[in-house]
Amino acid sequence: MPREATSRASSNSSSNAFAAWVAPLAASVSPSEIESSADLDRTVAFYTAAGFTETERHDGYLRLHDGPVELHFAEEASPTPGQCFIHVPDAVKLWKQLRHRSASTGDR
């Protein structure tokens, strides 16, 4: 095999081995942005209606979890607007859950 082809094959083998080694680590790590909240109790009420579970709370800090999705919130007196994209497999189902919660609690 020519030297160039041997080098390329060795490089591909190394990158495949690295990818196989990193894959389980990458699957267990998901970046999370910390959103701000003026009222963590109200934030919990909203997201638990959508199926999330409160998994951790400290003074001024909240973490919610639903399957592979994790949301983090920090309590701030004057929260700044933020953005968070949450992909859900069934948006209509989630909308109905939130609508039902709104109707039963009077929140609009």
| From 8-17, 74-83, 93-102, the region with the lowest mean pLDDT | 8-17
Distance separating alpha carbons of residues 35 and 71, to the nearest angstrom: 8
Is the pTM above the cut of 0.85? no
Q: Are residues 11 and 50 in the same domain?
A: no
CATH number of the structural domain spanning residue 90: 3.10.180.10
Task: Return the amino acid letter for 87.
Answer: H
b/e map of 18-37 (b: 16 or more CB within 10 Å)? eeeeeeeeeeeeeeeeebeb
46 shares its domain with 92: yes
What per-residue confidence (pLDDT) applies to 23? 55
Domain around 15: 1-29
Co-location of 14 and 58 in the same domain = no
- How many structural domains comprise the chain? 2
Q: Please write the tens of the pLDDT for every residue from 9-67.
A: 444 555 566 556 555 544 544 556 788 999 999 999 988 888 889 999 999 999 998 88
First to last CA, the chain: 71
What local confidence, expressed as pLDDT, does residue 90 receive?
Answer: 82
